[in-house]
Amino acid sequence: QVQLVESGGGLVQAGGSLRLSCAASGRTFSSYAMGWFRQALGKEREFVAAISWSGGNTYYLESVKGRFTCSRDNAKNTMYLQMNSLKPEDTAVYYCAADPNTIPTMESEIGPLGSWGQGTQVTVSS
């Protein structure tokens, strides 16, 4: 399995931007489709964005379309989530996830050969 470490979270005012990174190690990064999920306090974890193995296809939660951009650099073994025009409702712990077989748009699609990162907190103040 690949090991994943997120970074880049923090506190930002509404309307601001953050870029999250997800660094992978241990396996061939390009053999994994990747995704971002988030979990707000008291809520279930939800899908945010996903990207195919080569980066040619991306998928987004409707409420982040046009504001968030998911990308990956297979040479650097890293996936990114550029978040612009942040809103207080974007406040959550953000997790990256990997799966070798499926582009993960649901939590249940991370199978036994997949991995999760430990999460990074994003807080957007009003």
Residue ranges in the chain modelled with pLDDT below 50? none
pLDDT attached to residue 35: 98
Scan for tokens 């699609």, then name that residue.
Answer: 109
**For 13, how many CA atoms within 13 A lie in the half-sphere containing its CB?**
0
pLDDT attached to residue 27: 78
pLDDT attached to residue 36: 98
pLDDT attached to residue 33: 98
- The number of beta carbons lying within 10 Å of the beta carbon of residue 34 is 29
pLDDT attached to residue 117: 98
